[in-house]
Amino acid sequence: MSVERVLWEEDATGLAGLVQKGELSPQELVDAAIARAEATRPDINAIAEPLYDAARARARTVDRTLPLAGVPFALKDLGIGLKGVPIHGGSRIPAFTADYNSVMVERHLAAGLIPIATSTSPEHGLRLMTESAAFGITRNPWNTGHTTGGSSGGAAALVAAGVVPAAHASDGGGSIRVPSACSGLVGLKTSRGRVPLTPLTSESWFGMIVDHAVARSVRDSALLLDLT
């Protein structure tokens, strides 16, 4: 069975188990995720910034005993800091490039996750469809004539297309829940203050916005919440 097929059939928990047992390497998983990302990119248009070189470098050194060791992941192009990576917020205005990682990102990395890309969002996350003048239309992998919703539509598209088994997402007025419903995924809006938005902000949208994930399974969503 090909690694790309395993990437499609297993959730994040299952993939990490294969890495921990030595049946798959992080490098194999990351290479398969990148290949899948490039193969689907013209059809779904869900990537804002590819992080392929950094992902391959991290895959070579990740601790294989970590809970989600070597699992490919995506970070939303909105409201988060990833050191040295432009975050556009779905906009054509100059990107924000942090010289630090957000606390959420540090917890993702500490769990063994390997970001391979940032995922598209509508401009400033203000629409429930992931379309922008900056990046164009993000399309649903199940039917490219349909939307993946928003504002975490890029994250949902990458998970539904089998590029990554789970992806960082955020929700103020439905931005995790709508893409999950559109794409057949598990989406949970966590309680206010349950996971950190620091250091960018302590609260956003008067506490309405929370960060979490879209995932392929309930157990992945639960594990990601435990780890963050």
Residues of the chain with pLDDT > 70, as a percent, come to: 100
Average pLDDT (47-66) is 98
Distance CA 169, CA 157 (A): 12
174-200 pLDDT tens trace: 999 999 999 999 999 999 999 999 999
**Is the pLDDT confidence value at 1 over 80?**
no
> Which stretch of DSSP H or E encloses residue 224?
helix 218-227
Catalytic sites, residue numbers = 76, 151, 175
Mean pLDDT of 211-221: 98
Domain residue limits, the chain = 3-227
pLDDT digits (tens, 9 = 90+) for 88-109: 999 999 999 999 999 999 999 9
Q: Bridge-partner residues for 147, per DSSP?
A: 139
Q: Which pLDDT value is given to residue 87?
A: 98
> What average pLDDT does the segment 154-180 reach?
98
Residue pLDDT, tens place only, 135-157? 999 999 999 999 999 999 999 99
Instruction: Indicate whether 117 pLDDT > 90.
Output: yes
pLDDT band at 205, cuts 50/70/90?
confident
Question: What is the model's pLDDT at position 92?
Answer: 97
Average pLDDT, the chain: 97
Fold of 3-227: Amidase signature (AS) enzymes (3.90.1300)
For residue 221, how many C-alpha atoms fall within 13 Å in the half-sphere facing its CB?
19
Q: Which pLDDT score, from 0 to 100, does residue 128 have?
A: 95
Residue 152 confidence (pLDDT): 98
Q: For residue 17, is pLDDT > 90?
A: yes
